[in-house]
Amino acid sequence: MSRITREEVANLARLARLDLAESELDEYAQQLEIILESVAKVGEVSTKDVKPMSHATGLVNIFREDITKESLKREEILRSAPASEDDRFRVPRILDEE
Partner 1 sequence: MSDLTKLSALELSSELTKGSVSAVEVTKAHLDRIDSLDKSVQSFLHVDKTGAIKQAEEVDKNRKENKKVSALAGVPLALKDVLTQQGVPTTCGSKILEGWIPPYDSTVVKKLKSAGIVILGKTNMDEFAMGSSTENSAYFPTKNPWDLTKIPGGSSGGSSAAVSAFFAPLAIGTDTGGSIRQPAAVTGIVGAKPSYGGVSRFGLVAFASSLDQAGPFARTVLDCAMLHEVMAGHDPLDSTSINQPVPDVVSAAKLQDVKGMKIGIIKELGGEGWQTGVLNRFNESVELLKSMGAQVKEISIPHSLYALATYYLIAPSEASSNLARFDGMRYGLRVDDGNFSAEEVMNKTREKGFGKEVKRRIMIGTYALSSGYYHAYYAQAQKVRALIAQDLTNAFKEVDVLISPTSPTTAWGLGERVNNPMAMYLADLATLPPSLAGIPAMSVPIGLADEDKLPVGLQIVAPFMNDDRMYRVGGAIEASLKTKWNGLLIDQAPALGGAK
Applying CB under 8 A, which residues contact partner 1? 9, 12-13, 15-21, 24, 28, 31-32, 34-36, 38-45, 47, 50-57, 59, 62, 64, 72-73, 76-77, 79-83, 89, 91-94, 96
Measured from the CB atom, the residue of 44 and 98 that comes closer to partner 1 is 44
For the chain, the helix, strand and coil percentages under 3-state DSSP, each to the nearest 5: 40, 5, 55
Question: How far, in Å, are 32, 48, 52 from residue 56 at the CA level?
Answer: 28, 21, 11
Residue (of 41, 37, 42) closest to 53 by Cα position: 42
CB of 65 to partner 1, least distance (A): 10
Closer to partner 1 by CB, 26 or 83: give it: 83
